[in-house]
């Protein structure tokens, strides 16, 4: 056998079923029992393999996660109304707009905090201060209250009421010099008696923003403009309190 015959023989052996084709030869089908790679048709007797997200024709468009830009042809995050973005997030259509990744729920293993609960804010409040409150509404709750105060003044009074003349309403107000201001009442009511909740209260330069259970709820424009004088938070009435966390967003 001369050298040319030997090379022809080697080529024929290398391109048998299951072998890898030499350059210029068509690729062979996968061995039985091996799944197809993404983009390859499934082999006979093999179940179809899932395609890579967003890459294959014929697959339904996948919703993007909050904080990710929508891909061409993909729908917005389902079921959410347009919300103003929180710091750290671009304005997303139909996205909840939370600052950064959603933190995990704090474990409910420790002893509940004592209610009424008061926490000093030595530096006052300021832009990008975030307060996260976790608790559970009592089964027979009538109301609960969160106050951000300046000595005897209340800069922001947040007061969900479960039965005010047969209605559920969240009253917001301020009290300056022992005089209550104008109430604000129009907002959804996300709280459920006997159920846990997570409330986030974000201070910006112009307002407080409130979100409940990872959904934006409302804003309250600052009525006390000296934010550094708002030096305490008080939580009281019909709830048990699991945790209160104060942080500054980057």
Does residue 110 sit within a domain? no
The pTM of the full predicted model, rounded to 2 decimals, is 0.59
CATH classification at residue 131: 2.60.120.200
Does residue 69 sit within a domain? no
Does residue 55 sit within a domain? no
pLDDT for res 111: 76
Q: What is the pLDDT along the chain (250 residues), one digit of tens a residue?
A: 444 444 444 444 433 444 444 444 454 444 444 444 444 454 455 444 444 444 444 444 444 334 444 444 444 434 444 555 555 444 444 334 444 433 333 334 467 899 999 999 999 999 999 999 999 999 999 999 999 999 999 999 999 999 999 999 999 999 999 999 999 999 999 999 999 999 999 999 999 999 999 999 999 999 999 999 999 999 999 999 999 999 999 9
- How, if at all, do strands 153-164 and 215-221 pair? unpaired
Domain of 162 in residue numbering reads as 117-248
Does residue 179 sit within a domain? yes
Task: Report the domain count for the chain.
Answer: 1
Strand partners, 245: 132
Does residue 68 sit within a domain? no
Does residue 1 sit within a domain? no
User: Within a 13 Å sphere around the CA of 126, how many CA atoms are in the beta-carbon half?
Assistant: 9
Show the tokens assigned to 46.
């093999």
- How, if at all, do strands 239-248 and 129-137 pair? antiparallel
Does residue 165 sit within a domain? yes
- How, if at all, do strands 144-150 and 153-164 pair? antiparallel
pLDDT for res 37: 44
């Amino acid at each position: 056998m001369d050298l040319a015959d030997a090379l022809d023989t080697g080529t024929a052996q290398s391109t048998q079923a299951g072998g890898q084709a030499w350059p210029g030869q068509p690729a062979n089908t996968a061995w039985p029992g091996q799944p197809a790679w993404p983009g390859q048709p499934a082999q006979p007797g093999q179940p179809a393999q899932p395609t890579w997200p967003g890459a294959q024709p014929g697959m339904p468009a996948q919703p993007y996660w909050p904080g990710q830009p929508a891909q061409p042809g993909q729908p917005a995050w389902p079921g959410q109304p347009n919300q103003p973005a929180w710091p750290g997030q671009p304005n997303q259509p139909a996205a909840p707009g939370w600052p950064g990744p959603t933190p995990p729920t704090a474990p409910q293993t420790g002893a509940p905090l004592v209610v009424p609960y008061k926490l000093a804010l030595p530096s006052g409040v300021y832009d990008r201060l975030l307060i996260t409150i976790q608790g559970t509404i009592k089964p027979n709750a009538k109301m609960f209250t969160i106050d951000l105060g300046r000595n005897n003044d209340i800069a922001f009074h947040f007061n969900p009421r479960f039965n005010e003349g047969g209605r559920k309403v969240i009253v917001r107000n301020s009290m300056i010099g022992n005089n209550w201001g104008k109430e604000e009442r129009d907002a959804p009511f996300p709280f459920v008696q006997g159920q846990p909740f997570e409330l986030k209260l974000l201070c910006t330069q112009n307002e407080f923003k409130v979100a409940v259970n990872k959904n934006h709820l409302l804003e309250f424009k600052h009525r006390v403009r000296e934010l550094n004088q708002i030096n305490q938070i008080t939580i009281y009435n019909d709830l048990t309190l699991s945790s209160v966390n104060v942080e500054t967003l980057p």
